[in-house]
Amino acid sequence: MSINSTTPTIILSLDRIYRLVNKFPAFTRPTIHVTGTNGKGSVTALVASILHETGLRVGRFNSPHLLHVRDSISIGLKPVSESRYFETRSVVDRANDEGDKGEEAPRASLFEALTVTAMRIFEEEAVDIAVIEVGMGGRLDSTNVLPEKGVIKVSAMTAVDVDHVQWLGSTPPEIAREKAGIARSGVPFVLGPQMRGDVEGIVKETVAASGGRLVNAPSISLLGTSHRNSRGSLRELPPPPTMVQYQPPNDIRPLTLTLPLHGQHQIDNLSTALGIIECLSQQPEYTHRIDNSSIVRGVRNTRWPGRMEFFQYSPSTERVVTILADGAHNKASATSLRRYIDEISPGRTSFVLSLSHSLSKDPSETLEPLLRPGDSAFMVPFSSVEDMPWVKPVNPTEMVTVAKRLIGESERIMTDQEAPEEARNSTGSNGRRIFGRPFRTAGNIVLLVSLLVAGVHITLFSLLFQL
């Protein structure tokens, strides 16, 4: 997959990255390869955390990055050092710019070069296992340059929905076929829970054609909670972890797991992750490494920053505001986000929103599941994105037009340019720019705050303020 460095033109092809990767020794690290529309990052975080608890040295590659490009490559659950990243990236970039024996230089895209950089770091660091997230699609994604035989131990697919339609197809079955293109002969392919009933058949067909073996993710049971008050809101924010029950194969007793990732959809992601672990534990080299205690610890200790993550903000010494940050970027993930907000705090919600521009996506597709009459919305741009210059924000005034239709004409909709001058120019103690303006909503003062950090590019950065 190649992305033009200045425009959002994506060319689906593996030609350039194959030319680049073939300039280096073969990649040999055992690998778990995960595709899907939503939930890929959460699944890789869960799997990596569980495997880390077994004592394995785990490499993980996710995209896009959160703050800095090297965030996307981690070993032992920590981003690789700046020096380690740039040492390998400089070698990859030189190889990318040089021809070989009369052949032209690969001229791979930034993302293709990043993928090769991750592979080289994992290989040179001799990680015990790598957990790699597909960038977009599957069949022609840069990560599908992984060797055909002997490397991939488990492939998996999270929930499939409509996204990137100009490249992957306009229907869930078309998109699922592209994503299932990562399947390998003789390798188990875990299919996570699906919201779309027409996905499973096409995945089964595609996996079978590749010679892979389709495995359905195990079921997870939600254990009852008593954390709500008489109005239906949670008694505390951030809310406590979710308690679930899982029945391991070949074990008579179920496991009770503490899931710190928030939202009903994370139970499905956990199901997919545990399906991967089950398939891996059936392979001789991992049978005695993975046990129930490593699963319990790994799930409990999972962290996935910027995805339904809670923060505490103190606008004054008298009070603390709870902020929920998430990276929902399409209709399905925005629907999951709003559902979760309604579960923890029914009623009016205040949002700080930033959307990335997409030729195939109208802002209303993401905003319609989120915004309702009575809500407040503060529209902001985001800063430039390291190594992703084609990612640009939707103009906040365009978002305001959509929000007025959904919320109604009111003073509860504004952009960063409409904030008071002193608020727009102020900074927090950590150097982050802070925008703020009080709104009166149902008798309460709600302060909308946007924390803009260089490199933050979560496609939809939405914040819930609970007073």
What is the pLDDT of the chain when averaged over all its residues? 82
Q: What is the pLDDT of residues 282-305, one digit of tens each?
A: 999 999 999 999 999 999 999 998
Specify the range with the lowest mean pLDDT, choosing from 100-104, 134-138, 211-215, 460-464.
460-464
Query: Residue 449: its pLDDT value, please?
Result: 31
pLDDT of 447 strictly over 50: no
Q: Which residue has the higher pLDDT, 427 or 351?
A: 351
Query: Residue 331: its pLDDT value, please?
Result: 83
pLDDT of 439 strictly over 80: no
pTM value is 0.85
Q: What is the pLDDT of residues 65-89, one digit of tens each?
A: 888 899 999 999 999 999 999 999 9
**Average of per-residue pLDDT across 228-257:** 80
Q: Choose among 238, 240, 184: nearest CA to 214.
A: 184
Query: Residue 67: its pLDDT value, please?
Result: 82
pLDDT of 209 strictly over 90: yes
From CA 115, how far away is CA 228, in angstroms rounded?
44
Strand segments (E) across 46-160: 58-61, 73-75, 78-79, 129-133, 152-157
Specify the range with the lowest mean pLDDT, choosing from 25-39, 306-320, 409-423.
409-423
Which amino acid appears at position 26 of this protein?
A: A
SS3 at position 133 = strand
Query: Residue 423: its pLDDT value, please?
Result: 44
**Average of per-residue pLDDT across 16-33:** 96
**Average of per-residue pLDDT across 443-452:** 29
**Average of per-residue pLDDT across 1-21:** 68
**What is the band of 382 on the pLDDT scale with cuts at 50, 70, 90?**
confident
